[in-house]
Structure 1
């Protein structure tokens, strides 16, 4: 049986996580169809809360019965991950109580997952053979970075070794480069040591195993 999954993300450059959802499903022997709706295309754009997004997705899915599981990305930001897990669980219980769910809660934000692969950062920066030190955190420190988005943006700029207008053009491409880094993320690389990634993948495997 093909598992029908709904993936609700925080921003358009987060859509690449679907490829990892599909890959993990394949690793546990499950076929999965992941739908990533663009809720901003709706006439009445939903709010940023999980409840708002779930209700909007429900409108697009004939009452919410089109899916077996929902995978919800919510950065922890300044909240404790447990608070985000509770927020997601309560939202699903309120809107689609019969729907299994998987929380995706990077600490503090998803960019922390993208700070660990120097070669990928150099590649998206357009300078794969560069040697300029990037001063990236070790895996044990990645989830303690105060602003991983700013650090990732700076790391890409440093890796590029661009100056002037070239650097300005590169900085404008940051959302696209971030999206590419997420797609390139090595599930067997350093990210597998991060607690937030482990929680996501463990939860996904558990839900896939129980949805047979």
Structure 2
């Protein structure tokens, strides 16, 4: 009986985005793979430099997910940047992975602003009732600085007595927990950048099974 196995790397901009591995593993299993193993690699230098290092080391992955925040450049510019970098890499025969962009608009934090229950839970205040004024889904990808918005929301969601003592380190830890607990079936699915990621993964599965897409 055939086992559809997938091993992937997530090339991320910083260690704080490494927990996205969990969401990607879930998406790949739901696409059809029986067994999935992923690991995070923190990018040093440019995307091309990081991919070249992988190729030189003969790292063996079916997929390399390349995470880049869209920031002000926009998703299309980041996608083109990744495609150009990948085109310049000389992989050894048989080692060529599929390169898949993971590009939140405008930052990963935008994906974390859609689940009020998880925000309250990671702050240790799941029964909090103070209004958080979260942006609506259709507003998310238009926020210029989702990280600042998320940190403000986390401060509001925290237990009232401990808000003054909150450090950037504590807020960053909560952010990492939110990334790890990202609900791939939740409201994030309404965002264009997430839909693009799901389409890319569906195409990977079709390619793996030898299905030609129209």
- Above 0.5 in TM-score? yes
1:57: how far off? 2.9
1:166: how far off? 5.0
2-side partners of 1:78 and 1:56: how far apart?
A: 27
Q: Out of 182, 203, 206, which is 1:206 matched to? A: 203
2-side partners of 1:67 and 1:171: how far apart?
A: 35
> Matched residue of 1:36: which SS?
strand
Instruction: Name structure 1 gaps, 5 residues minimum.
Output: 40-45
1-side partners of 2:89 and 2:72: how far apart?
A: 25
1-side partners of 2:179 and 2:164: how far apart?
A: 21
Give the match for residue 212 of structure 2: none
Give the match for residue 160 of structure 2: 162
Instruction: Name structure 2 gaps, 5 residues minimum.
Output: 210-214
From the superposition, tell whether residues 179 and 91 of structure 1 become closer, same or farther in structure 2 (CA, over 3 Å): same
Q: Out of 146, 169, 183, which is 1:186 matched to? A: 183
1:38: how far off? 4.6
From the superposition, tell whether residues 138 and 162 of structure 1 become closer, same or farther in structure 2 (CA, over 3 Å): same
From the superposition, tell whether residues 6 and 32 of structure 1 become closer, same or farther in structure 2 (CA, over 3 Å): same
| Range moving further from structure 2, 149-158 or 13-22 | 13-22
1-side partners of 2:103 and 2:109: how far apart?
A: 12
Structure 2 residue 32 is matched with structure 1 residue 29:
yes
Structure 2 residue 85 is matched with structure 1 residue 85:
no
Question: For the Cα contact (< 8 Å) 1:92–1:99, is it kept in 2?
Answer: no
| Alignment TM-score, normalising by the size of structure 1 | 0.88
Give the match for residue 148 of structure 1: 146
| Alignment TM-score, normalising by the size of structure 2 | 0.87
From the superposition, tell whether residues 124 and 208 of structure 1 become closer, same or farther in structure 2 (CA, over 3 Å): same
**1:103-144: CA deviation from partner (whole Å, max 9, x where unpaired):** 001011010000011111111111110111111100000111
1:161: how far off? 3.9
